[in-house]
Structure 1
Amino acid sequence: MAKFPSGTAIEIFDTLDSTSAEARRRAEAGEAGPLWVLALAQTAGYGRRGRGWEQQTGDFACTLLFKPDALPASWGQISFIVALALASVLDELMPEEKIALKWPNDVLLDGAKCAGILLESLGAALSIGVGVNIVTAPEGLPYPVARLMDHAAQPPAPQKLAERLDHHFWTFYRLWRAQGFAPIRDAWLARAVGLGVDITVRLPNEELSGVFEGLDETGALVLRSPAGRRTIAAGDVFFARRGN
């Protein structure tokens, strides 16, 4: 099995139902990683809340399976680490100002979603799924979508993107373990879209509107509304003027 310079293994499949599903199967079989599972094509990819994730050959679908050396209560902060790592990869391909981060787990390219991140707890291990639109821009979604091939002079092959993502992920992960969430939160907020503006957050049973003030010490979104200040651990964010 191939390994990156970090020592993390990578297994590449021509086709999988889902890299996240494969990571779950590995975890159920007792594997704890660290292991990247990369699929050149997916037949049943999915994102948050089980939503479908469309991927064509040439797009990026990869999942990291590993056991964080941190308390499970803090694992949610790793989504911000992955977002920063992915943004750093894209910075190598195009001007940094093109890339922004959207709470809780999206990466935007010129204001349109180009990547998503999915964390799943698998008992003692964690699965981190990353999907990036390299050649495909799915249609019919309630928000604008971008693909790398329209912005990067030479879009990366999925294998190369995985290698660079691995490098940046462990760099930010080591920072998090050494200094806590504060420097990760500051770096994420420096690239956040919608900070200080009116947003709507859709929750399973309600919809809230207010000003996006920032993140608390756990990574929850801080919303200031006429009803008061509220922290939100998970939800879908929509911007009044810019679209989702």
Structure 2
Amino acid sequence: MIRLPSGERCQHFVSLDSTNEEARRRARSGEAGPLWIVADHQAQGRGRRGRVWQSKAGNLFVTCLLTPNRPGTERAQLSFVAALALHDALSYFEEGLAARLRCKWPNDLLLDGVKLAGILLESEGDWVAIGLGVNLAEAPENVERPATSLCAALGRKIDPMACLDVLSLRLQARRAQWEEFGFEPIRNDWLMRAYGLGGAIDVRLDNRSLMGRFAGLDRDGALLLDLPDQTQKRITAGDVFPLTKGA
């Protein structure tokens, strides 16, 4: 049994279509959370833009359903809150791991520059579902971009429920920071862990690509891109591919 923060609950399933879909069903039936929904297997796991999220045994598939104590216009910031919480949680398992983990805009966590975890934020009305998929035991195969696992890095497997035990505490702490102080400290902490910051990146939008320098984050989490013509563009959605490694 995991040690959840006071007032939070967990529902553990052997299999689900997806933990985010279960969170949606619970929310529509009146559940306000905080409720953690974890599954050993997902039949229809998904990432951003409807991409398939492979359900490898031993990995963590979990969603936190909650009703945030901040305006709806700010709730997209929870993606950064969750990324920091996950960075904090995974760093707990190995000394020195924190320096190898980086947050990639808008919703990935990288290990040694390769994707380790993804975050999918969905909301409707007052509720928000924070879905997290973490490659603890195995990396997905035949994917567009390379991926890795924590087991490959540490040489040992971390039990998904042990990871959730730590993650629930870290997310509570980061949420409290965000709810009390707003986005600015979250933004600053995220930038300290950002992958590609200050370097050249390719931002792929729905109908075009833009290349420039990753200058930072706006005050609401939008990516700031310095373009070759000396102008700066604010990006609210897109896929980022660093061309060089920044700090």
TM-score interval, smaller chain:
over 0.9
CA contact (8 A) 2:5 2:172 kept: no
CA distance in 1, matches of 2:237, 2:164: 27
1:142 is matched with 144
Q: 1:234 aligns with which of 234, 237, 242?
A: 237
1:107 is matched with 109
Measured after TM superposition, the shift of residue 241 of structure 1 is: 4.1
1:179 is matched with 181
Which blocks of at least 5 consecutive residues in structure 1 are unaligned?
none
- TM-score (norm: length of structure 2): 0.94
Measured against aligned partners, the alpha-carbon deviations of 1:16-64 in whole angstroms (never above 9, x if no partner) come to 1100111011111111111000001111100101110001221100001
- TM-score (norm: length of structure 1): 0.95
CA distance in 2, matches of 1:144, 1:75: 29
Give 4+ residue runs of structure 1 displaced > 3 Å after superposition. Answer: none
Task: State the percentage of identical aligned residues.
Answer: 45
1:28 is matched with 28
The residue identity in structure 2 corresponding to 1:232 is I
Measured after TM superposition, the shift of residue 7 of structure 1 is: 2.2
3-state SS, counterpart of residue 131 of structure 1: strand
The residue identity in structure 1 corresponding to 2:36 is W
CA distance in 2, matches of 1:6, 1:86: 19
Measured after TM superposition, the shift of residue 152 of structure 1 is: 2.4
2:120 is matched with 118
2:42 is matched with 42
> What is the 5 A alignment of 1:27-176?
27-94=27-94, 95=96, 96-176=98-178
CA contact (8 A) 2:139 2:149 kept: yes
CA contact (8 A) 1:55 1:136 kept: no
CA distance in 2, matches of 1:164, 1:153: 20
CA distance in 2, matches of 1:175, 1:3: 20
CA distance in 2, matches of 1:162, 1:93: 12
3-state SS, counterpart of residue 53 of structure 2: coil
The residue identity in structure 2 corresponding to 1:238 is F
CA contact (8 A) 1:223 1:231 kept: yes
CA contact (8 A) 2:3 2:165 kept: no
CA contact (8 A) 2:2 2:162 kept: no
The residue identity in structure 1 corresponding to 2:80 is F
The residue identity in structure 1 corresponding to 2:180 is A
CA distance in 2, matches of 1:85, 1:133: 16
CA distance in 2, matches of 1:19, 1:82: 16
Measured after TM superposition, the shift of residue 153 of structure 1 is: 4.8
3-state SS, counterpart of residue 36 of structure 1: strand
The residue identity in structure 2 corresponding to 1:102 is K
3-state SS, counterpart of residue 85 of structure 1: helix
Two-structure CA RMSD over aligned residues (Å): 1.5
The residue identity in structure 2 corresponding to 1:99 is L
CA distance in 2, matches of 1:155, 1:189: 29
Measured against aligned partners, the alpha-carbon deviations of 1:104-151 in whole angstroms (never above 9, x if no partner) come to 010001111010000001221001000001122112222221101112
Measured after TM superposition, the shift of residue 236 of structure 1 is: 0.2
